[in-house]
Structure 1
Amino acid sequence: MQLNTIKPAAGAKHAKRRVGRGIGSGLGKTAGRGHKGQKSRAGGYHKVGFEGGQMPLQRRLPKRGFKSLARPFNAEITLSDLQGLAGDEIDVLTLKAVGLVPELAKNVKVILSGAISRKVALKGVAATAGAKAAIEAAGGSVA
């Protein structure tokens, strides 16, 4: 193969449709726009979702839901996750290093899911009431 013999794949290139160039082209006179109406006029079109003046669907339906901007900065871990970690002192940097929480996380909270049977000391990591009780029952502490 040489650079001067390269061709596009068969059917990849096709001539642009030329409208309004006479009756023989098949797209003369109205140029494929049909007869009359807003869409047949020059510059005549409407915005996305426009329903001819009827209240558009996106305005008829109720607004619902909310996305918190703080979401990427908050993370949760379970008691089972803590059980599998090496080391007794656990802080946010430790959790980021092992990949349990994303790098963006600023606030981490332990939730009561699973069980913990070893002693861990949490530093700068929050815990729910149930999780705190479970950690303290295993001989650990939450600071």
Structure 2
Amino acid sequence: MNLSNLSPAVGSTRTNKRLGRGTGSGRGGTSTRGHKGQKSRSGYSKKSGFEGGQMPLQRRVPKFGFKNINRVEYKGINLDALTSLNEKNSTSTMDVAYFVSAGLVSKNAKIKILGRGEVTTALEVHAHAFSKSAVEAIEKAGGKAVTL
């Protein structure tokens, strides 16, 4: 075997249609494009979504609502998650780097501490936002809620 006798697998290739090469070829005359009309011309291209002049779908369906471009998306972490983390690692301060290393959030996420669960030990928690109930629970246990 060498490069001179390599060939594609049987049935994997086809010969291309030779259009407009006389009536005897069977594909002469109109070159399989039918008769006249816009689609038979060279350079024809249809707008995507064009429905032959009928009102297209993207204009028939109404738009509603809006996206607030100033919305800040927080990743919520509940108090019970903090307690379970504290039981495993027994640390008094929890900040963004700690949550990232624990695998709770990605490094660019904004964190909000939420009030589900209870805190038993005094924790110093650093986060971007806190719910009122979370701040109360942390301070009740003798800890500190620090907003970044």
Specify the TM-score bucket, using the shorter chain as the normaliser: 0.7 to 0.9
Q: What is the aligned partner in structure 2 of residue 60 from structure 1?
A: 60
Structure 2 residue 43 is matched with structure 1 residue 43: yes
The CA deviation string for residues 26-75 of structure 1, in whole angstroms up to 9 with x for no partner, is: 4322222222322112223321011223332112222245375766x743
Query: Which one-letter code corresponds to 1:94 in the other structure?
Result: Y
Question: How many angstroms apart in 1 are the aligned matches of 2:21 and 2:133?
Answer: 78
Give unmatched runs, 5+ long, in structure 1.
none
Tell me how far 1:7 sits from its aligned partner: 4.4
Tell me how far 1:101 sits from its aligned partner: 0.9
Q: How does 1:96-135 map to 2 (within 5 A)?
A: 96-105=100-109, 107-113=110-116, 115-119=117-121, 120-135=123-138
Question: How many angstroms apart in 2 are the aligned matches of 1:83 and 1:25?
Answer: 81
Structure 2 residue 90 is matched with structure 1 residue 90: no
The CA deviation string for residues 4-42 of structure 1, in whole angstroms up to 9 with x for no partner, is: 365444433222232222334443222222223221122
Alignment root-mean-square deviation, CA = 2.9
Q: What is the aligned partner in structure 1 of residue 11 from structure 2?
A: 11
Tell me how far 1:104 sits from its aligned partner: 2.1
Tell me how far 1:117 sits from its aligned partner: 3.6
Indicate conservation of the 8 Å contact 1:118/1:140, yes or no: no
Tell me how far 1:129 sits from its aligned partner: 1.9
Question: How many angstroms apart in 2 are the aligned matches of 1:82 and 1:100?
Answer: 10
The CA deviation string for residues 106-140 of structure 1, in whole angstroms up to 9 with x for no partner, is: x2111234x23432221244211233333334443
Indicate conservation of the 8 Å contact 1:23/1:29, yes or no: yes
Identity of aligned residues (%): 40
Question: How many angstroms apart in 1 are the aligned matches of 2:79 and 2:31?
Answer: 69
Question: How many angstroms apart in 2 are the aligned matches of 1:9 and 1:133?
Answer: 74
Indicate conservation of the 8 Å contact 1:110/1:131, yes or no: yes
Indicate conservation of the 8 Å contact 2:111/2:129, yes or no: yes
Give unmatched runs, 5+ long, in structure 2.
none
TM-score, scaled relative to structure 1: 0.74
Report the count of equivalent residues.
139
TM-score, scaled relative to structure 2: 0.72
